[in-house]
Structure 1
Amino acid sequence: MTYHFALAGNPNSGKTSTFNQLTGAKQTVGNWPGVTVERKAGRLRKDRHVLIQDLPGIYSLSPYTPEELISRDYLMEASLDAVINIIDGTNLERNLYLTLQLLEMNVPTVAAINMIDLLKKKGLQINFEKLAYGLGIPVVGISALKQRGLAKMIEAAKHAVNTQQLPPRYDDRLEAGLTEIMAILPETIPQQQKRWFALKLFEKDEAIQAMCKLTDSQQAVLQETISILEMIFKDSSDAILVNERYGFIEELLALAVIKETDQHLAFSDKIDRVLTHRVLALPIFAFIMWGIYYLSIQTIGTIGTDWVNDVLFGSWIPETAAHWLEQLRVAQWLQELILDGIVAGVGAVLGFLPQIFVLFFCLAILEDCGYMARVAFVMDRLFRKFGLSGKSFIPMLIATGCGVPGVMASRTIENEKDRRLTVMVTTFMPCSAKLPIIALISGAFFPHYSWVAPSAYFVGMGAVIFSGIVLKKTPLFAGDLAPFIMELPAYHLPQLTTILKSACDRAVAFVKKAGTIIFVACIFVWFTSSYNFALQRVSEDQSILAFFGRLLAPLFAPLGWGTWRGAVATITGLVAKENVIGTFGILYGQTGELSESGTEIWQVLRGDYTAVAAYSFLVFNLLCAPCFAAIGAIHREMGDSKWTWLAIGYQCGLAYCASLLVYQFGHVIFEGGHLTLGVFAAIVVTGLLVFALVKKPFRGSAPLIQVVGGEK
Structure 2
Amino acid sequence: MEIKIALAGNPNCGKTTLFNALTGSNQYVGNWPGVTVEKKEGRLKGHGDAVIQDLPGIYSLSPYTLEEVVARSYLVGEKPDAILNIVDGTNIERNLYLTTQLIELGLPVVVAVNMIDLVRKNGDRIDLAKLGDALGCQVLEMSALKGEGGMAAAEAALALAKGHRAGELPHVFTGSVEHAIAHIEESIAGKVDDRFLRWYAIKVFERDERVMEELRLSASLKAHLEQHIADCEQELDDDAESIITNQRYAYISGVIERSVKKRRAKHSLSISDKIDRIVTNRVLALPIFAAVMFLVYYISISTVGDIVTEWTNETLFSGLICGNLSAWMEGIGCAPWLVGLVVDGIVGGVGAVIGFVPQMLILFLMLSVLEDIGYMARVAFIMDRIFRRFGLSGKSFIPMLIASGCGVPGVMASRTIENERDRRMTIMTTCFIPCGAKMPIIGLFAGALFGGSGLVATSAYFIGVAAVIFSGIVLKKTKMFSGDPAPFVMELPAYHVPAVGNVLRATWERGWSFIKRAGTVILASSVVLWFLQSFGFVNGVFGMVEDNNTSLLASIGSAISFLFAPLGFGSWKPAVATFTGLIAKENVVGTFGVLYGFAEVAEDGAEIWGNIATDFTQLSAYSFMIFNLLCAPCFAAMGAIKREMNSAKWTFAAIGYMCGLAYLASLVVYQLGLLFTGHGFGVGTAAAVLALLAAVYLLVRKNRYDDNPLAVRSVTAASKKKEMIS
- TM bin, normalised by shorter chain, reads 0.7 to 0.9
Contact 1:97–1:245 (8 Å) recurs in 2: yes
The structural deviation recorded for 1:593 is: 2.4
- Structure 2 counterpart of 1:653, from 653, 657, 660: 660
Rounded Cα–Cα distance in structure 2 between residues aligned with 1:384 and 1:318: 49
1:544 to 549, 552, 555: 552
DSSP-derived class of the 1:427 partner: helix
Counting only pairs closer than 5 Å after superposition, residues 173-322 of structure 1 correspond to structure 2 as: 174=195, 191-192=210-211, 228-229=231-232, 236-262=239-265, 263-322=267-326
- Show the 5 A alignment for 1:479-628: 479-533=483-537, 534-538=541-545, 539-553=547-561, 555-556=563-564, 564=572, 566-574=574-582, 579-581=584-586, 588=593, 593-594=598-599, 602=605, 604=607, 606=609, 620-626=627-633, 627=635, 628=638
State the one-letter code of the partner of 2:497. Answer: L
Match of 2:714 in 1: none
Equivalent residue in structure 2 for 1:629, among 606, 626, 639:
639
Any residues of structure 2 matched to 1:435-514 within 5 Å, and which? Answer: 435-438=435-438, 440-441=440-441, 460-473=464-477, 479-514=483-518
Deviates more, 1:167-176 or 1:529-538: 167-176
SS in 1 for 2:542: coil
Q: CA 1:667–1:600 in structure 2 vs 1: closer, same or farther (change >3 Å)? A: farther
- The equivalent of 1:153 in structure 2 is 153
SS of alignment partner, residue 102 of structure 2: helix
| Residue equivalent to 2:427 | 426
Supply the distance in 1 between the matched residues of 2:145 and 2:445 (Cα, whole angstroms): 44
Deviation at 1:489, TM superposition (A): 1.6
1:138 is aligned with what amino acid? Q
Going from structure 1 to structure 2, the CA distance change for 1:623 and 1:491 (only over 3 Å counts) comes to farther
Distance change in 2, residues 1:483/1:436 (3 Å): closer
**Map of 1:369 onto structure 2:** 373
Deviates more, 1:52-61 or 1:564-573: 564-573
Mapped partners of 1:527, 1:83: distance in 2: 55
Q: Distance in 2 between matches of 1:700 and 1:125?
A: 51
Deviates more, 1:477-486 or 1:130-139: 477-486
- Is contact 2:392-2:472 (8 Å) kept? yes
Q: Which amino acid aligns with 2:210?
A: Q
Partner residue of 1:34? 34
Residue type matched to 2:598 in 1?
A: E
Structure 2 CA distance for aligned equivalents of residues 233 and 513 of structure 1:
49
- 664 and 650 in structure 1: CA distance in 2 versus 1, 3 angstrom threshold: same
Q: Aligned pair 1:326/2:330, yes or no?
A: yes
Q: Tell me if structure 2 keeps the 8 A contact 1:22–1:45.
A: yes
Does the C-alpha gap of structure 1 residues 501 and 443 become closer, same or farther in structure 2, counting only changes over 3 Å? farther
SS at match of 2:33: coil
Residue aligned with 1:40, SS: strand
1:291/1:81 CA distance change after superposition, 3 Å: same
- CA separation of 1:193 and 1:505: change in aligned 2, threshold 3 A: farther
Question: 1:164 aligns to what?
Answer: 171
1:691 alignment partner AA: V
Aligned to 1:353: 357
Residues 688-699 of structure 1: pairs in structure 2 closer than 5 A: 688=693, 691-692=696-697, 695-699=700-704
The whole-number CA distance in structure 1 between the counterparts of 2:290 and 2:46 is 44
Q: Which amino acid aligns with 1:531?
A: F
Asked whether the 8 Å contact 2:440–2:603 carries over to 1, the reply is no
Aligned-partner Cα distance in 1 for 2:370–2:625: 26
Moved more, 144-153 or 560-569: 560-569
1:579-610 residue CA offsets vs partner (Å, 9 max, x unmatched): 33357657746866245xx9667555655658
Task: Tell me which residue corresponds to 2:722.
Answer: none
Residue 512 to residue 561, structure 1, CA distance change in 2 (3 Å):
farther
- 3-state SS of 2:586 partner: helix
CA distance in 2, matches of 1:294, 1:604: 28
| Cα deviation, residue 39, structure 1 | 1.2
Task: Compute the displacement of 1:224 (Å).
Answer: 8.2
* Residues 591 and 193 (structure 1), Cα distance of their counterparts in 2 relative to 1, 3 Å cut: farther
| Whole-Å separation in 2 of the counterparts to 1:618 and 1:697 | 33
CA distance in structure 2 between the aligned counterparts of 1:183 and 1:457, rounded to whole angstroms: 60
What is the correspondence of 1:88-99 to structure 2 with a 5 Å cutoff?
A: 88-99=88-99
Quickly say closer, same or farther: Cα 1:407–1:117, change in 2 above 3 A. Answer: closer
| Aligned counterpart, 2:192 | none
- With over 3 angstroms needed to count, the CA separation of the structure-2 counterparts of 1:666 and 1:167, relative to structure 1, is farther
Kept in 2, the 8 Å contact 1:314–1:599? The answer is no
Structure 1 gaps, min length 5: 196-220, 414-418, 705-712
- Read off the aligned partner of 1:697 and give its amino acid letter: K
Kindly state the Cα deviation for residue 240 of structure 1 after the two structures are TM-superposed: 3.3
Q: How far did residue 141 of structure 1 move?
A: 2.3
Q: Distance in 2 between matches of 1:290 and 1:689?
A: 37
Relative distance call for 1:522 and 1:667 in structure 2 (3 A) is farther
Distance 1:2 1:451, change over 3 A: farther
Instruction: Show the 5 A alignment for 1:3-14.
Output: 4-14=4-14
Letter in 2 for 1:240: I
Q: Rg bigger for which structure?
A: 2
| Secondary structure in 1 matching 2:530 | helix
8 Å CA contact retained: 1:345, 1:583: no
Paired AA for residue 89 in structure 1: G
Contact kept, 8 Å, 1:407 with 1:633, in 2: the verdict is no
Q: Deviations over 1:193-231 (max 9, x none)?
A: 999xxxxxxxxxxxxxxxxxxxxxxxxx99985662366
| AA aligned opposite 1:423 | R
Distance (whole Å) between structure 2 residues aligned to residue 612 and residue 290 of structure 1: 32
Equivalenced residue count is 658
Return the alpha-carbon distance in structure 2 between the equivalents of residues 615 and 296 of structure 1: 29
Shift of 1:61: 2.1
Q: State the SS of the aligned residue for 1:532.
A: strand
Return closer, same or farther for 1:65/1:483 CA change in 2, 3 Å cut-off: closer
Cα-to-partner distance string for 1:236-265 (whole Å, 9 max, x where unaligned): 444433233212211111112222244542
Separation of aligned partners in 1, 2:667 and 2:565: 10
Percent identity, aligned pairs only?
Answer: 46
Q: Please tell me whether the aligned partners of residues 3 and 81 of structure 2 are also in contact (alpha carbons under 8 angstroms).
A: yes
Structure 1 residues 136, 600: closer, same or farther in 2, change over 3 A? same
CA distance in 2, matches of 1:604, 1:555: 28
Q: What residue in structure 2 maps to residue 208 of structure 1?
A: none
| Structure 2 contact 578–588 (Cα < 8 Å) conserved | no
How far did 1:164 drift?
2.5
Root mean square deviation of aligned Cα: 4.5
- Residue 130 of structure 1: SS of its match in structure 2? helix
Compared CA separation, residues 59 and 476, structure 1 to 2 (3 A): closer
Q: Which amino acid aligns with 1:304?
A: V
Aligned counterpart, 2:345? 341
CA distance in structure 1 between the aligned counterparts of 2:352 and 2:548, rounded to whole angstroms:
19
**Residue equivalent to 1:204:** none
1:152 counterpart letter in structure 2? A
Task: Look up the equivalent residue of 2:90 and give its one-letter code.
Answer: T
The structure-2 alpha-carbon separation of the partners of 1:377 and 1:568, relative to structure 1 and needing over 3 Å to count, comes to same
SS at match of 1:484: coil
Counterparts in 2 of 1:179 and 1:312: CA distance versus 1, 3 Å: closer
- Mapped contact 1:229–1:237 kept (Cα < 8 A): no
CA–CA distance in 1 between the matches of 2:120 and 2:502? 25
1:111 Cα shift? 1.4
User: How many Å apart are 1:695 and its aligned residue?
Assistant: 2.6
User: Given that residues 429 and 471 in structure 2 are in contact (C-alpha distance below 8 angstroms), is that contact kept between their aligned partners in structure 1?
Assistant: no
Aligned partner letter, 1:536: G
TM-score with structure 1 setting the length: 0.78
Matches of 1:194 and 1:566, distance apart in 2:
78
Matched-pair contact (CA < 8 Å) for 2:645–2:651? yes
Runs of at least 5 residues in structure 2 that lack an aligned partner in the other structure = 164-169, 188-194, 215-223, 710-726
1:87 is aligned to 87
Q: Give distance in 2, aligned partners of 1:122 and 1:613.
A: 65
Q: Give the partner amino acid of 1:191.
A: R
Whether the 8 Å contact between 2:82 and 2:160 is mirrored in structure 1 is yes
- Contact between 2:7 and 2:84, CA under 8 Å: does it hold in 1? yes
